[in-house]
Amino acid sequence: MAKVKTTFFCQNCGTQYAKWQGQCNACKEWNTIVEEVIQKPEKSDWKTPASTIKRASVPLLINEIDVSKEPRLNTFDGELNRVLGGGMVPGSLTLLGGEPGIGKSTLLLQISLKLPYKTLYVSGEESQKQIKMRAERINPENNNCYILTETKTQNIFKQIEALEPDIVIIDSIQTLHSDYIESSSGSISQIKECTTELIKFAKETAIPVLLIGHITKDGNIAGPKILEHMVDTVLQFEGDRNHVFRILRANKNRFGSTNELGIYEMQGSGLREVSNPSEILISKKDEELSGNAIAATLEGMRPLMIEVQALVSTAVYGTPQRSATGFNAKRLNMLLAVLEKRAGFRLGAKDVFLNITGGITVDDPAIDLAVVAAILSSNEDEALLANYCFAAEVGLSGEIRPVQRVEQRILEAEKLGFSTIFVSKYNKISLKNTVINIQLISKVEDLVGYLV
């Protein structure tokens, strides 16, 4: 019997070691190195079907390379098309990552049901019956979607050869296993091997493959980092499970920009594309309330109007509480210090709670001014006019700093019927014929006058 070959892998970053050690040299994590059985494949795993002739690669002048022949496959989902950069590229491998229960399987099943092409949905997680039940909730009639419950790559390839689908979806990479490697499914060497086989398959047949990948506690795609290097596109599906909104963004895209963003709403019958998110994120109220302000933010390339709510109240306990949902708590403390020091507000003995509505987390610095406005409004108990919105960063000395793509924000605010947008005096604006009133301010103190 052949000697069993084993190596040690770090389960966190995928680094390989000849012997066990307590700490990984590469990622410095402790107790992540485990022994895995490996066996080098003796023959090619993915055999080219007779229908596709393998071409040996020859060097070509860059000007002579014809890209027009590679039409993208329409996914019939506006949001996904946008994030992918106009549809799926033939022969590409796309990885969709996200927390458990966020809706990855739902999204991809829904897309397979919508596609007019022959689709193969391979699931290693759910039975055919379970998938059918889910499909019934989502509900479109479809005669082209095949469901396969299988985890062995060799069997999957056999079925693909027989079926010849136009697109393959795999749920999930962590459940797959290849015969050439003896370690269990989900281990680093299995994930690496199965992905390599899938890449080879996709490149040789030009069939695009969509892979679902699980996410670890700290938000990385489970499995080696190299998984992300191997695939062409890494999409991240995120959102707060208690809220209905889900955001799809590209962390890496070999065929398009990573600035695009897709927004969905989880409903009883699957995910609905949200083409105008701003309208939903802003709650409609009959009366103006203190502590509310609207920020004109950008998520990727998309303008998004977001409602910020603040509550400032006298601290009941000794130490005042500061808490922020959807906003960086350190940044909140910084803005409070700026208000205290530069604008003379006594917030030191007050509890401050901040909430970004819709369960969305915002990194855009342009939200600062809306946060400050919401805090001031709650502190003074004076409402801001509901048709005001804000787009500027606040600096440490209380100065209002310019933000990128301010014109796009202004146009979005105007489209949604806001009467006034507050931006930094230092932003260069060359917009003409705008109906919206553009209020230029340079210091936080300037804001106070606008509270009703």
| Per-residue x/- track, 244-283, ligand TYD (CB under 6 A) | ----------------------x-xxx-------------
Helix (H) or strand (E) holding 235: strand 233-238
**What residues contact residue 437 under an 8 Å CB cut-off, 6+ apart?**
419, 420, 421
**What residues contact residue 109 under an 8 Å CB cut-off, 6+ apart?**
121, 131, 134, 135, 138, 169
101 binds ligand TYD (CB under 6 A): yes
Indicate the residue among 45 and 99 with the shorter CB distance to Mg ion.
99
Selected binder of ligand TYD within 22, 100, 318, 449 (CB under 6 A): 100
Of 390, 391, 389, 392, the closest CA to residue 400 belongs to 392
Query: How far is 337 from 346, CA to CA, in rounded Å?
Result: 10
The reply to whether 98 sits in an annotated binding site is: yes
Q: Minimal distance in Å, beta carbon 132 to ligand TYD?
A: 12
Query: How far is 296 from 288, CA to CA, in rounded Å?
Result: 19
The reply to whether 101 sits in an annotated binding site is: yes
409 binds ligand TYD (CB under 6 A): no
Query: How far is 271 from 234, CA to CA, in rounded Å?
Result: 20
Helix (H, G, I), strand (E, B) or coil at 427: coil
Q: Minimal distance in Å, beta carbon 96 to ligand TYD?
A: 9
The reply to whether 185 sits in an annotated binding site is: no
> Quick one: what does residue 266 bind among ligand TYD, Mg ion, none, with the CB cut-off 5 to 8 Å set by partner type?
ligand TYD
Q: Minimal distance in Å, beta carbon 98 to Mg ion?
A: 9
Binding site residues, Mg ion, CB under 5 A: 105
Query: How far is 115 from 75, CA to CA, in rounded Å?
Result: 6
Q: Which two tokens stand for residue 450?
A: 């606008």
Q: Minimal distance in Å, beta carbon 103 to ligand TYD?
A: 4
Q: In the Cβ-directed half-sphere of 181, how many Cα atoms lie within 13 Å? A: 25
Indicate the residue among 12 and 105 with the shorter CB distance to Mg ion.
105
106 binds ligand TYD (CB under 6 A): yes
200 binds ligand TYD (CB under 6 A): no
The DSSP output letter for 31 is: S
242 binds ligand TYD (CB under 6 A): no
Binding residues for ATP: 98-105
Applying CB under 6 A, which residues contact ligand TYD?
98, 100-106, 134, 137-138, 266, 268-270
